[in-house]
Structure 1
C-alpha cells in the first residue's frame, strides 16, 4: 500500500457522510445505525455487548474525542475511513466539530477497507458475524478470493482456509435481524453455519425462537440439530418443526423463565427425534407405576438403557418403616409388572 498523506483538521460533523457504511464493520449494540436496524427487525437495541459503546460515549462526553477519526475528502464533504462510532457519538452528544486526519487522495474501496482493518488491528476484536461481513465487503469491493484468504483473513483473526472463506463470506445471506442476534449473543460460526442451509422462512422462525429463548451457545447447537434431524425424519423443513403450534404457544406463555421455556421446547422435540426411545421410556415408566411402590421406595434404570441393571432406593426413619418398605418391595419383585420389566431390559442388552 502506497504512503497516504494526511492533514490534521477540525471537521464539522454536518460535512461527514454518516450514511456511507462501507468501512463500518460494527454490529455493536447502542449505535444509531444498530438501533435503526434492530427496530426494523423487531429486536431490542439493548445488549450485553453495548457496554463498550456506552463506556466510549461516557468518555467522550467527559473528555472529548482524543483519538482523531480518519476521513477521505469526497466532493464538498467527507467519507469515514475509521471512526464511525466516534462520529455517531459526537452527533448524539450534539458536538459541532470532530478532530480528524483527512486525506484528499481518491482511494478505491479495497484501500478504504484495508486502512480501517489496519487501523483497528491492535485494539479491535470482531464477532464471527462481523468477520463474515468484512469478507463479504471485500468481495463486493472486487478483491479476489486468493487475496482475501492470504492477506485479509489473518488480519481479522481467521485461518487461511478456502472452506472458512466460503462459510464466513455467506453471513450476508442472513437477514439483518438474525445477524444482529447472532452478534449480540456471540454465537460462533461453527454453530450458526448450519443455519446458512436453511431457507429464509426457516431462518425467520429461528430468529423468533432464539430471540425469545436467548440460550447459550451449546443450547443453540442442540436446538438447531434437533430441528434439522426431525425435519429429515418427517421430510419437512426445520422452520416447519419450530413453527408448530405447541412450541409457539409455549414461547408466548407468560410466567416462565427463558431457560424453563427452552427446556420445555426440548422436551417437546426429543420424542419426535427419538420416537422409539421415547416409547420405551414411557413403557418402562408405566411398568414401574404398576409396581405400586410407596413414596419412600424408588426403582431406577439406566437412562440410556446401556445396562439391564435395576437400582432400588429405600428410605425410612425407623425399623418399622423400613420393614414395611421391604415387604412392599418383596411383593413388587414377585409381580408380573417386575417380570415384564426385567424381560424388557434383558432384550435391550
Structure 2
C-alpha cells in the first residue's frame, strides 16, 4: 500500500460518498469518547479527488471528528493512481481484521468485489483471505442481501430472521416483504412460526385472489397486533388462529363443532377421542389411560356411557 501521511481539512473530505463503505454501524458516541481521550490510533485512509478527498476506510472516525468540531485530522492519503480494486480490498480488510462482519457488511464486500471477480470460485478464495465466507453457494446468497429493502436488512441485522427467510421475503411481491419484516420484528417469531405464517398468508392470497400485503394489512390482524391488553404470546396465538380460520374455513368450522360436542361428552382425563386429520376421513381414535384394573373398569363404564351419548352420534353422523 503506497500512501503519504498528512493533515487534511475535514471540509475537504467527502463523507457523503459511500463508494467504499462496508460498516453498517452508524453510532459514533463511543468512538468520539475514545478519539477525544486517546487521539486517532488508526488513521483514516483516503484517496485524493479533484476537489478534495474520498474516504476508503474510516467513515465513522471522520464523522466522530466532525462531531468533536475538529477542523482537521491526520490521515493516510493513497497515491492518486491507486486502482479501485485496491481501494476495495483495503476497505474490506480494514473492517474484517477489526471484527467479524455481519451479513449485510459481507454482502457489501461481495458486491464491491464482484464487478472485478465474477467467477465465484476465485471470488471465494479472495474472500477467504480476507476472513469472509469462501463457499461459492453461500457467497451467491449473501450477495443478494444488500439489494433487499431497508426493513428486511434491518431484520437481518437484529437477527429477527435467517438468511434463507430474508431471501424469501426479497422474492415476494412489492411491499409484502416489508410487511412480513415488520410483523416478524413486532412479534419476535421463531423460524418455524415465521414459516407457518408466511405459508398461510401465501395460500390465503392465492385462494382469495388478493395480494399478500392486503392479507397482512387486514383490519382484524392489525387490531390484534395493536391490542395493548395482549402480550406477545397472546398476539401470536390469536394471529395464527385467525389465519388458519381464514385459510381453512371448512376445517375450522368442523373443529369448532367437534369441540362443542366433545365438551358435552364429558370424557374426563382418562379417555381421549381423536378426530381424523383435518376431518377428511371417517376413522376416530379412542385412547384410554389407566394404571390398574380398577381404573380400566372405570374406563369401561365411561365407554358404555359414551356409546349412549347423543353427542357422539352427532360427531359420527357428520363423518359418515
TM-score interval w.r.t. the shorter chain?
0.7 to 0.9
Query: Do 2:20 and 2:91's aligned partners in 1 also have CA atoms closer than 8 Å?
Result: yes
Residue 95 of structure 2 corresponds to 120
Residue 87 of structure 1 corresponds to 62
| Segment drifting more, 193-202 vs 214-223 | 214-223
Change (3 A) 1:219 1:131: farther
Report the TM-score when normalising by structure 2: 0.77
Residue 253 of structure 1 corresponds to 227
Residue 177 of structure 2 corresponds to 203
Question: Counterparts in 2 of 1:140-289, with a 5 A limit?
Answer: 142-146=115-119, 149-154=123-128, 155=130, 157-161=132-136, 163-185=137-159, 187-275=161-249, 277-289=251-263
| Segment drifting more, 13-22 vs 330-339 | 330-339
Residue 18 of structure 1 corresponds to 15
Distance 1:193 1:73 in 2: 38
How much has 1:165 moved relative to structure 2?
A: 4.3
Distance 2:82 2:233 in 1: 50
How much has 1:23 moved relative to structure 2?
A: 1.5
Distance 1:91 1:303 in 2: 69
Change (3 A) 1:107 1:5: closer
The answer for unaligned runs of 5 or more in structure 2 is: 278-282, 291-299
Distance 1:230 1:304 in 2: 24
Once the two structures are superposed, residues 24-65 of structure 1 have per-residue CA deviations (whole angstroms, 9 ceiling, x without a partner) of: 12223x43xxxxxxxxxxxxxxxxxxxxx6544443343333
Larger RCO (CA under 8 A, 6+ residues apart)? 1
Report the TM-score when normalising by structure 1: 0.71
How much has 1:198 moved relative to structure 2?
A: 0.7
Question: What is the number of equivalent residue pairs in this alignment?
Answer: 306
Once the two structures are superposed, residues 210-229 of structure 1 have per-residue CA deviations (whole angstroms, 9 ceiling, x without a partner) of: 34334355544443333234
How much has 1:194 moved relative to structure 2?
A: 0.7
Query: Do 2:275 and 2:285's aligned partners in 1 also have CA atoms closer than 8 Å?
Result: no
Q: 1:66 aligns with which of 24, 36, 41?
A: 41
Residue 40 of structure 1 corresponds to none
Change (3 A) 1:332 1:229: same
Query: Do 1:308 and 1:342's aligned partners in 2 also have CA atoms closer than 8 Å?
Result: no
How much has 1:118 moved relative to structure 2?
A: 2.0
How much has 1:177 moved relative to structure 2?
A: 3.3
Residue 50 of structure 1 corresponds to none
Change (3 A) 1:15 1:72: same
